Structures are given as C-alpha cells and as structure tokens.
Amino acid sequence: MDNQKIQEIQILEQNIQNLLLQKQAFDMELSESRAALKEIENAKDDVFKLIGQLMIKSDKNKVKEELLNKEKILNLRLSTIGKQEISLTEKLTSLREEMMKQSKK
C-alpha cells in the first residue's frame, strides 16, 4: 500500500512538473504575442508575417486579429493549466498528509 502511494505521489509530482513546463511555454508565447501586438500598433505601413522560412507581407488588421485570437486561446490554456495545477497540488498534499499519518502509527 505504501509503495503504491509513493508511486502515486511521484506521478503527481511529474504531472505538476509537466504542467509547469507547459505553463512556462504558454507564458513565453503569450509574451511574444503581446509584444507583436504592440509592434503592430506602432507600425505605420506594411506588416510582415513569418510563414515557415518565408516572410510574407500581410494585412495589418488581419494579423492583429490573428494575434488577438491567439492571445485569447493562450489565456484560456493558461487558465486551464492553473486549474489542473491546483487540483493536482491538492491531491498531492492530501496523499502526503495521508502518508505522514500512516508513518506515525
């Protein structure tokens, strides 16, 4: 029983670590999107967009709309990851407390 709980704790810790890595990646992507949006606001004329290895001239409003949509999606993902992180952390805390109670017996 104890080995199973220890293994479960390790799995939860790994899952939390993976969530934190995903969160960090989405945070970076969100930051880049916000910086790009700021640059688009300051751009007077042409806006270019990277597609693969090509830089293509694009409509400023269309690129801005795409970035705003991307920002919404990233915020939603970050919110979901935050909820998952809370849930996993609560489970982990509960399991650790359970293990502590058992070890004191």
Q: Is residue 74 part of a domain?
A: yes
Domain that holds residue 77: 2-98
Q: Is residue 105 part of a domain?
A: no
Render 23-68 in DSSP notation, one character per residue.
HHHHHHHHHHHHHHHHHHHH--S-EEEEETTEEEEE-HHHHHHHHH
Between CA 96 and CA 89 the distance in angstroms is 10
Q: Is residue 36 part of a domain?
A: yes
pTM, to two decimals: 0.83
* CATH number for the domain harbouring residue 43: 1.10.287.370
Give the angle 105-12-15 at the CA atoms, nearest 5°: 170
pLDDT in tens, the chain (105 residues): 578 889 999 999 999 999 999 999 999 999 999 999 999 999 888 899 999 999 999 999 999 999 999 999 999 999 999 999 999 999 999 999 988 888 876
Q: Is residue 38 part of a domain?
A: yes
Q: Is residue 104 part of a domain?
A: no
Q: Is residue 90 part of a domain?
A: yes
Q: Is residue 47 part of a domain?
A: yes
Domain count, the chain: 1
Q: What is the pLDDT of residue 75?
A: 98
